[in-house]
Amino acid sequence: MKKVRIGLIGAGFMGRTHSNAYKSINNIFGDEVVPELVAVADVNADNAKALAEKYGFQRWTDDWKEIVKAEDIDMVDITTPNASHCPIAIEAANNGKHVYCEKPLAMTAQEAIHATKVVEDAGIVNSVGFNYVRNPIQQYVKELIASGELGTVVNFRGMYDQDYYNDPEQKHEWRMFKSASASGALGDLASHTLSLSQYLIGDISSVCGMTQIIVPERPDPADPSHMLPVENDDLVQFMYTYENGACGTIFSNRLAAGRKMSLGYEIQMTNGCIVYNQERQNEVQIYRHDDDKRERGFKTVLIAPGHGEYERFFGGAGICLGYADQKTIEVYHTLKCVADKTPCEIDFRFGMKVMQVIDAVLESAENHQWVSIK
């Protein structure tokens, strides 16, 4: 049994989600690796205290620097607003702490490149929280593609649509300002589609995209009679090429009426096809062109033993996992890498590449031309 001593920074929604996962992993994964909840920090001291008491952290503070320097902490878990992800991660790495950082890794590709260099040079284990990649079905899909049984990838069509901003009367939020969030649907939603594309298929070499603002201004939450501008993309669509020669399209609309959790893809291959959507996270559609001609078709495969970590949860197929279970698997993988001092599959370099694509799409949309990713 290995123990990992945790210092959590950020006591908001994601701080609680991570804490829940720390409480659950041993129920599912046994005692391979056990988190010890040492300390939690939040600029709002009350929030830090409340979370510490609720989940049993040994102490709390309003100063995150105490966490990154603490002798009794092995890993720093960063769930703060986006702008502070890299600064904290760098400080933690410089103090020799392993780092587990929520997505998006950074505000810009440049910042992500710098942070990646720092953590890699420091030789510490680093992990980024792209939780949808952790659905056991994605691990099966990755193995299936890699096996070559379906030939090679030809085309990826991905999306992440939601309708959480569909109502034009809905108030303005910080996410709609460029200063706080360079992109809109692109970084918030399509970044997850990119994480799946990158995890399953590989790196993107060039992009060509466009963005649209559907609702150009929204009521100021402080004074609803006053309108504030929406500065970033409500909708984004972009074509791209992979380094391996395949191509794809990704789109995302954060006002997409009817789409609640529509993160998905269709992967067209030379000898098969795979279709997935997060609204039905416990199944995947698989087509094999080698089947008998009279019986070719898309097969609805329910989550089953043999798909990633599913068997740790249940012995039989088709018993649904939920959103929270994906995060539990992510935390398990992260802690295990920290305990074993092995690299994480979804690390800073992975998150950096997602940021590079995002920045290239923004540049392409602004200049109306293809942009290469060096």
Q: How far apart are CA 278 and CA 132, in angstroms?
A: 8
Q: How far apart are CA 359 and CA 365, in angstroms?
A: 10
Residue closer to a second copy by CB (options 26, 84) is 26
Residue closer to a second copy by CB (options 116, 281) is 281
Residues contacting 71, CB < 8 A, separation 6+: none
Residue closer to a second copy by CB (options 177, 287) is 287
Q: Does 293 bind a second copy (CB under 8 A)?
A: yes
Binding residues among 38-57 for a second copy as defined by CB under 8 A: 54-55
Please state the closest distance from residue 271 (CB atom) to a second copy, in A: 6
Q: Does 170 bind a second copy (CB under 8 A)?
A: no
User: Cβ atoms within 10 A of the Cβ of 12, count?
Assistant: 14
Terminal Cα distance for the chain, rounded: 43
Backbone torsions φ then ψ of 308, nearest 5 degrees: 45, -130
Binding segment toward a second copy, per CB under 8 A, in 14-22, 36-44, 111-119, 346-354 = 14-22
Residue closer to a second copy by CB (options 40, 269) is 269
Q: Sign (positive/negative) of CA torsion 286, 292, 297, 299?
A: negative
Q: Does 95 bind a second copy (CB under 8 A)?
A: no
Q: Does 16 bind a second copy (CB under 8 A)?
A: yes
Binding residues among 125-144 for a second copy as defined by CB under 8 A: 140
Count of residues engaged in binding a second copy, rule: CB under 8 A: 88
Binding residues among 201-230 for a second copy as defined by CB under 8 A: 208-210, 212, 214
Binding residues among 258-287 for a second copy as defined by CB under 8 A: 258-262, 268-273, 278-283, 286-287
The CA-based dihedral angle spanning residues 14, 349, 63, 222, taken in that order and rounded to the nearest 10 degrees: -50
Q: Does 318 bind a second copy (CB under 8 A)?
A: yes
Residue 85 and residue 352 in contact, taking contact as beta carbons nearer than 8 Å: no
Q: How far apart are CA 167 and CA 152, in angstroms?
A: 42
Residue closer to a second copy by CB (options 43, 247) is 247
Residue 311 and residue 1 in contact, taking contact as beta carbons nearer than 8 Å: no
Binding residues among 353-372 for a second copy as defined by CB under 8 A: 368-370
